Structures are given as C-alpha cells and as structure tokens.
Amino acid sequence: MRLKRKYCSECGQKVVTRQIAGRTRQVCPACETIFYENPLPVAAALVMNDRREVLLVRRKRQPHRGKWCLPMGFAELGETVAEAARRELHEEAGIDGRMVRLLDADSYRSSHYGDLLIVTFELEKVGGREQAGDDAEDVAYFPIAAHPPLAFSANEKALQVCLTAHRESWAIQDSFASLQGAGTQGLVSDALVATIQERAEEIARRWLDDVRSSPTTPSYRCIAPQELLDRAATAISQFGRWFAGDEASPEVREFYRQLARERKGQGFRLDELLSSLMLLKKHVWTFARSQGTSANPLDVYRMLELDRRMAEFFDRAMYHAARGFDAESVA
C-alpha cells in the first residue's frame, strides 16, 4: 500500500488534506505546496513464439502470488516505459526483446499498490533463453486464446488488442499456407466464392448479354437464351466444389468435355467455346471486384487468392473443352 505523506518536503510542516479542484489532496498549510499523486507506471511485455503462443510468468510474490501474467514491473527513474518493458522481460523471463509496437495503456486499481497505469508493448524475442527469474517462479508459452486465468485484467485486454492487431496478417498466412498445400479449408476467399455462387444467375445474365453480342462468339446467337443461361448458372453455382482442385477434377473434366462435344455437334468452332469461357471468367471477376473490396491488406490478398483459384480452374476448364473437340478424345 502506498504510504501517505506526513510532513511537507519543502518546509517540514505537517500536511493537511483539502478539497482542491474536486479532489481531496494533501497540502502544506504553511507554504501552500500541493502534493499531487499520480498512478504508478507499470511496463508489460507481450511476446509470442512462431506458434502464436504467448509468454507468461507465474508470480512468486504478492499480489496474486501463484497466478500467471505477462512479464511486467514498475518503470524506474532514468528509463523510458519501453526500456522498462525490455528490462522486465529479461529479468523475469530470461529473454531479450525487440520492440514491435505499443499495444495498450490501461488504468488498474490495486489494493496492494494503489492506482497503476499499465502500459503493454509487443516485443519480438531476439535472444536469451526462457527461464524464470526475479519475481517469477515459472515461465511458459500458452495458446493466446487458451491461456490460464491472468492476474491482471489489463493483461487480458492487451491480449485482445494483440489478437485484433494480428487478425488480418494471420488470416492471410493461414490461407496462403492452405492454398500452397492444396488445402480447401479456411481460405479467405471462400466467403467471396460463396457470394458468387449465390448470385450465379445474376452473373450468368451479364455473361449471356455479352456472349450473344460479342463478335468472337457469333454462333451463340443461334442457341436458345434460356439454355445458355441455365448452363452458365449451373457452372457458376458449382465453383465452390470445383475450385477445390483434385477431388473435383473428374466432374470438371466430364462437364467441359461434354459441353465441347455438344457445341461441336452444333457446328461451333473451338475458338468460340474458349472465348465464351473467357467471357464467363471476366464476368465472374468483375462481379467479385464489385463486392465492396477495400484497399486493406486482407481484402487485397482475398482478391489475389481468388484470381489464382479462378486462373487454375479456368485453365482446367479450357483444357478439357479443347480435348472435347479432339476427334480422338471424343472417340
């Protein structure tokens, strides 16, 4: 508990309490010196490993002995709060850190110390070895979303701020890793693909107007519009499964080879069929771009990822369409 002042540090007189500016303050009645009290500054360090686990220490002393918290302690004279965070990280957890960002500043009322101002920084480990020291009896990494109860609410708030700060970059990393590994779960472009499928008929109608008027697809004017519309809408509505890759390849193969056989039998040229697929790709992409895409990194990556998935899919579609026109393939 913070001790109250008894005597004036300026003249030695016994201090009294008065109401000043709406607060009870200690004042010297002789020299009128007002002794203002401020929150004690506390620096906390948040460090994560490459598995997105957060480094916590178990407290060895009161208050909250035995509970977990971020490496933290009081800032001292002659050092900045950021320097205090690095020092506490080294003293309590045994590692050295490089400053990444200021995460949060939060007021905290401690029954032990009084009013505190807890300033939390995110740091990156650059050296040392994790080992408990100073006021800590243990040190360990925990999943950031599944950590033990923390001694200070300010630590919990800082973790939530950290999650928010990393949400977009982690989503991009996870989606990219899944895409590189031919995964089909958790891609950031999945929601956009779902919207494309839901609006399949709207996109197909735009394509229909284009394909029946384009000079590169004159034969499409001879096909009943509803037939073209139904076929295009069906294709678009299947993108979610077809974008998946190998598992959908047999279905994609049969769909586009059968389409090619039908168009060949109707007297279409191969270049017309391929042009119609390029027009479909154009209208799907144009629709995707119209869905409120902003310039933030996650949205930019979402569009780049969708572009890659569409490119891979339409490459397969056009290959199988071309094979469908091959007389030997048909036989």
Determine whether domain 1-37 maps to CATH 2.20.70. Answer: yes
The answer for residues whose C-beta is within 8 angstroms of residue 162's C-beta and 6 or more apart is: 46, 48, 54, 103, 122, 144
Architecture of the 40-166 domain: Alpha-Beta Complex (3.90)
- Identify the CA nearest to 67 among candidates 77, 56, 78: 56
In this prediction the pTM is 0.75
pLDDT of residue 114: 84
Could you tell me the sign of the dihedral formed by the alpha carbons of 289, 290, 291, 296, in that order? positive
Q: Alpha helix (H) ranges present in the chain?
A: 81-93, 153-180, 190-198, 200-211, 225-237, 239-242, 249-265, 270-289, 297-325, 327-330
Domain residues of the chain, as ranges? 1-37, 40-166, 190-330
Whose tokens are 């590994």? That residue is 181
- Identify the CA nearest to 140 among candidates 87, 84, 68, 86: 68
Cis peptide leading into residue 63 (ω within 30°): yes
Please report, as a single letter, which amino acid is at residue 287: F
Given this structure, which CATH class describes domain 190-330?
Answer: mainly alpha
CA distance 228 to 205: 9
* Partner residues linked to 16 by β-bridges: 27
pLDDT of residue 30: 87
Beta strands per DSSP E along 16-153: 16-20, 23-27, 34-35, 40-47, 53-59, 68-69, 72-74, 95-110, 114-128, 136-143
From first to last of its 331 residues, what are the pLDDT tens digits of the chain? 556 788 888 888 898 988 888 888 888 988 988 888 889 999 999 999 999 999 999 999 888 999 999 999 999 999 999 999 999 999 999 999 999 999 999 999 887 788 899 999 999 999 999 999 878 999 999 998 899 999 999 999 999 999 999 999 999 988 888 877 655 567 899 999 999 999 999 999 999 999 999 999 999 999 999 999 999 999 999 888 787 665 567 888 899 999 999 999 999 999 999 999 999 999 999 999 998 766 788 999 999 999 999 998 999 999 999 999 885 444 3
Angle made by CA atoms 125, 129, 133, in degrees to the nearest 5: 105
Pairing label, strands 95-110, 53-59: unpaired
pLDDT of residue 135: 84
The two domains 1-37 and 190-330 share their CATH topology (first three levels equal): no
CA distance 184 to 242: 11
pLDDT of residue 330: 42
Angle made by CA atoms 94, 173, 186, in degrees to the nearest 5: 125
